[in-house]
Structures are given as structure tokens and as C-alpha cells.
Amino acid sequence: GESVGLHLPTLSVQEGDNSIINCAYSNSASDYFIWYKQESGKGPQFIIDIRSNMDKRQGQRVTVLLNKTVKHLSLQIAATQPGDSAVYFCAERGKLIFGQGTTLQVKP
């Protein structure tokens, strides 16, 4: 069946460094992906999305890259801040299938 999965369950970075969270998907027909951030005790929050006709999309301090050849997408966070500490999920459209999530820990 369809699946999305993040490569690492936990990522620890130093404050101010850049963070890269990776995600693989299995459905080559997927045409839309979303990154969500979930802080402790809260529901997921939309960060950024990307359509399959794009390779890159930038937001405020975040960039999503899509590599359709290897069915891989990544979320890059520039100048990581303590407030970025959360669980990050990639999801694909349709039934909005979530992966397991990567916990980002920011060390001061």
C-alpha cells in the first residue's frame, strides 16, 4: 500500500544551524505533499506544501525540495531556533497519509 516515511526518528541540532528532515514516499502518482509541525500537546500545524510539478519551494526560513526520481522530499529549516523543536511529519494528498514523524531537538 501507499506509505510515507521519515528517515530518522530523531534529529538533534545546535541552535543557529540548519536542519534537514528527509521523507520518502512510495506512490509515484502522488502529486502534492505537505509538511506539518506538531508541538507537544498540540495538533499538527501546516508549514509548507509542494506540488509535483515543482522541485523546490521556499517559505520563511523553510525550504522543501522534491526529488520525484527517487521519490524523496526534504524540509530544510534555516537558522534553527528553540521554537522549531517539534515533531515534523510529511504527508501526501489524498487520504493525507502521515509518516511516523521526526522529532527535532534544538540544543541551545
Partner 1 sequence: EAEVAQSPRYKITEKSQAVAFWCDPISGHATLYWYRQILGQGPELLVQFQDESVVDDSQLPKDRFSAERLKGVDSTLKIQPAELGDSAMYLCASSSRAGTANEQFFGPGTRLTVL
Binding site for partner 1 (CB under 8 A): 31-32, 34, 41-46, 49, 51, 89, 91, 93, 95-96, 98-101
Is the CB of 32 or the CB of 105 nearer to partner 1? 32
What contacts 21, CB < 8 A, 6 or more positions away? Answer: 6, 8, 11, 74, 75, 76, 77, 88, 90, 102, 104
Residue 89 beta carbon to partner 1: minimum distance, rounded to whole angstroms = 5
User: Residue 82 corresponds to which amino acid?
Assistant: P
The nearest distance, CB 16 to partner 1, in angstroms, is: 28
Q: Least CB distance from residue 77 to partner 1, whole Å? A: 19
Cα separation of 106 and 81, whole Å? 7
